[in-house]
Amino acid sequence: MLSSCDAQTSNSQSSEPEKRQRVLIETSYGNMTVELYNETPKHRDNFIKLVKEGFYDGLLFHRVINNFMIQGGDPNSRNASKNQRLGDGNLGYTVPAEFVKGLIHQKGALAAARMGDQVNPTKASSSCQFYIVQGMVWTADRLQMLAAQMGRQLDQQQIDVYTTVGGTPHLDYDYTVFGQVIEGLDVIDKIAAVQCAPGDRPIDDVTMKISLID
């Protein structure tokens, strides 16, 4: 992955990597530790603000698709009834897209959900909804076929990552990636495997609590 931006010290000519904020996502299936990227400051700062406010505590992973991703952060999911349709909630604003070369949809990537291109040509992100990538490991041949279908050229980093770690390459540079799970990748698999109702909502609620790690 892309390394952190360098932060110049005021009393030295040398530079040190800028420390990344970490957050803890707690669920009944285990905990995930996530690093937020400094290369996507608008998304980082927005997410930190919401976490500090306790916004995510008690919300659901309301959309779960095995071998793809787990999505949460809809404010309407707090105390939602079993049959309530979820996925449209927001906080009344969007976050401008921040596509950074090297920040891709590998397994464990934290990315911002958004409205579709038809109504959102700038690909601006949701104010609060996010997803965590599960994806799958690709063979080189299948990855090459996907790239041809998309009309894109994949770089060596993408090829190396998706044929080993896995992920969802077709989402790269269309949805903003702003963090990475560094502990608890197995928790993604456990949540992705739960039984879901039509519409991809887990039959048994999967709640979250998110806090900053000092």
What is the span of the domain harbouring residue 119? 18-213
Q: What is the pLDDT of residue 145?
A: 96
Q: Where are the alpha helices (DSSP H) in 18-109?
A: 41-52
Residue 175 inside a domain? The answer is yes
Q: What is the pLDDT of residue 7?
A: 37
Q: Which two tokens stand for residue 42?
A: 């608008």
Phi, psi angles (nearest 5°) of residue 29: -100, 5
Which residues are CB-neighbours of 72 under 8 A, at least 6 positions away? 56, 59, 60, 61, 62, 63, 129, 130, 131, 208
Query: HSE of 144 in the Cβ direction (CA atoms, 13 Å)?
Result: 3
Read off the CATH number of the domain in which 59 is found: 2.40.100.10
Residue corresponding to tokens 């927001």: 90
| Phi, psi torsion values for 170, nearest 5 degrees | -70, -10
**Is the residue at 63 inside a domain?**
yes
By the 8 A CB rule, do 169 and 175 touch?
A: no
pLDDT (0 to 100) of residue 11: 43
Structure tokens at 5: 């931006």
Asked if residue 145 belongs to a domain, the reply is yes
- The pTM of this model reads 0.92
Domain contains 2: no
Is 11 within the bounds of a domain?
no
pLDDT at 174: 97
Nearest to 22 by CA among 48, 43, 54, 42: 48
Structural domain count of the chain: 1
Helix (H, G, I), strand (E, B) or coil at 85: coil
Please tell me the predicted confidence (pLDDT) of residue 15: 63
| Domain membership flag for residue 167 | yes
Q: Does 197 map to a domain? A: yes
What's the number of CA atoms in the CB half-sphere (13 Å) around residue 213?
A: 16
pLDDT in tens, the chain (214 residues): 333 333 333 444 456 678 999 999 999 999 999 999 999 999 999 999 999 999 999 999 999 999 999 999 999 999 999 989 999 999 999 999 999 999 999 999 999 999 999 999 999 999 999 999 999 999 999 999 999 999 999 999 999 999 999 999 999 999 999 999 999 999 999 999 999 999 999 999 999 999 999 8
pLDDT at res. 92: 97
Q: Is residue 5 domain-resident? A: no
